[in-house]
Amino acid sequence: MTQDLELLNTVRLKAQTWTSELFDKETRDSVKDMLEHDEEALIEAFYKNLDFGTGGLRGIMGAGTNRVNKYTIGMATQGLANYLLTSFMDLDQIKVAIAYDSRNNSRFFAETTAQVFAANGIMVYLFDALRPTPELSFAIRELDCQSGVVITASHNPKEYNGYKVYWDDGGQIISPHDNAIISEVGNIKSISEVKFEGNSDLVHEIGSEIDQKYLDQLLSLSLNPDIIREQNGLKIVYTPIHGSGVSLVPDTLKAFGFGEVYNVPEQDITDGDFPTVFSPNPEEKAALNMAIERARELDADLVMATDPDADRVGIAVKDSDGEFILLNGNQTASLLIYYVLHQWKEKGMVTGKEYIVKTIVTTPLLTEIANSFGVKSYEVLTGFKYIADIIKQKEGKEKFIIGGEESYGYLAGEFVRDKDAVISCALIAEAAAWALSRKSNLLDLLNQIYQEFGLYKEHLKSIVRKGKSGSEEIAGMMERLRNQPPQTLAGSDVVMMSDFQKGKSFDMISDLRYDITLPKSNVLQFLTANGSIVSIRPSGTEPKIKFYFSCREKASKSVEMEQLHKTLNERIEQLIKDIGAE
């Protein structure tokens, strides 16, 4: 009780500072209302400062130090500006690019960011309207910028917004820049240290000219334009779910040669309240319901949906009974990578220096596919910034073809350094056209892959725990699993435990220890004797802990595929129970 009272008193003192004239009237009034009438809301808004993590900010919008607003955005930008001024002091002019998506306040936060940069003498290229996040990555490289910011909270609910930071290679910030920027942001102790009034001459709007250059690069990745023309009856339904994909995905599909691209008019409307869906997340079946209904009306072949900042895509494909089946991120990645590598091999483009990249929680099937085509496969921590880092490290020495992660993010080509739903939509559609040219479809192709490499089954289970108590509970779950690891999972002995935070893998049979060469991260992974993999990772951007499950069985013709699916589904259910993720 005393501890709760101490927290409330600390929060009240902190909140009082937000009622001064340094803050606008709307903010002052909101804070005063919480001080007088809502202690719970006050604590959630002020019990800590919104974490500027290794990628930037993400949180609920509103007044307070633990909220996304003009002032937390301003302090983050001032800290980033300070770091840029130190890092690039030899340049005559430091430049940054800024993009934003359809979320409420995104344009305002983008303009705020631009003004703070300009007030620090940094030149800004600000997109004239909402654009996909991957185009921001492209623009940084195209305009020779030293950094970039996109205002987005990706697929989070409508109450959220965020601030994602990129470096001069077009990738999201990683070590050492991430921790150095976090330190600089942490050094901003008062809103009075933020320069909000910028030099408008340093802010330049960009738009269609960058769109065209980006589109030209996307078109260079098409592998079968002739087949697209031949299969011009392929019908595609696409929805941006009220987000920034509306600005480029349909035009890109048409530029690739797809003539029958249909939209969902209600979801083409840019709206940060996302009125037609509960959540604008293409991982969730409900987000694609309207598009699937439209596809049924049109007798379409393929449904694609992108999240608000158009860096991730979810798809549904029609089965032999005419029903639409949603594919998960691992299945789409497998199809996409199989198609692209098959074409590279068939066209004689594989020389032995090519590679793909996947994350540690993405299906091992991708590595099997790459190996079969004589292409290397690299594995990185969760987060596309690590895929971008591999591309940067290998640039000029090896050739990146394609990469992906289970959370519906994929990338082809080297001119963008983040997951890109625009090119992914185009190449998924191209794969569908290629399958059609072989009197097949994407589901048939997926089953063919399973017959060749084995049936891989993956599942993601997320547990959400909000607020201060939720963060503590998630930390406790990780500590318990780290200190008391399971001995068996789904009836199979745990043979290896990898603790990416300690940088060690533990062989549970021989008791040997192995170094993990990847950067340290709060991730645990358990491997069983029958090849099942369970990975556990607290989200860095949301109040949740994620459990990733992967199982595999050889898919021989003597085994009915339907029965094999059932067997692996039952195994995953048991893994969920045994790891405590129910």
Q: Catalytic positions, please?
A: 154
CA–CA gap between residue 431 and residue 161 (Å, rounded): 34
Q: What are the strands, taking DSSP E only, across 9-143?
A: 56-60, 95-100, 123-127
Beta bridge partners, 464, equal 544
| 524-543 burial: b if 16+ Cβ within 10 Å, else e | bbbbbeeebbbbbbbeebbb
Pull the structure tokens for residue 233. 């009856």
Phi, psi (deg, nearest 5) at residue 228: -60, -45
Would strands 160-167 and 455-464 be described as parallel, antiparallel, or unpaired?
unpaired
Host H or E run for residue 147: strand 147-151
Pull the structure tokens for residue 501. 């935070």
Helices (H), 88-196: 106-119, 133-142, 177-186
Q: Dihedral sign, CA of 499, 502, 505, 506?
A: negative
Host H or E run for residue 31: helix 25-37
Would strands 235-239 and 302-306 be described as parallel, antiparallel, or unpaired?
parallel
- Using alpha carbons, select from 118, 5, 11 the residue that is nearest to residue 63: 11
Pull the structure tokens for residue 123. 């030149």
Q: Beginning with the edge strand found earlier in the chain, give each strand of the sheet holding 399-405 in spatial order.
A: 376-380, 354-359, 399-405, 409-412
Host H or E run for residue 30: helix 25-37
- 347: exposed, middle or buried (Cβ count in 10 Å: 0-12, 13-18, 19+): exposed
- Using alpha carbons, select from 297, 321, 296, 317 the residue that is nearest to residue 305: 317
Would strands 533-538 and 544-553 be described as parallel, antiparallel, or unpaired?
antiparallel
Host H or E run for residue 250: helix 249-256
- DSSP letter at 486 equals -
- Using alpha carbons, select from 56, 243, 242, 237 the residue that is nearest to residue 132: 243
Contacts of 258 (CB under 8 A, 6+ apart): 228, 232, 234, 236, 429, 433
Helix axes 2-16, 39-46, angle to 10 degrees: 70
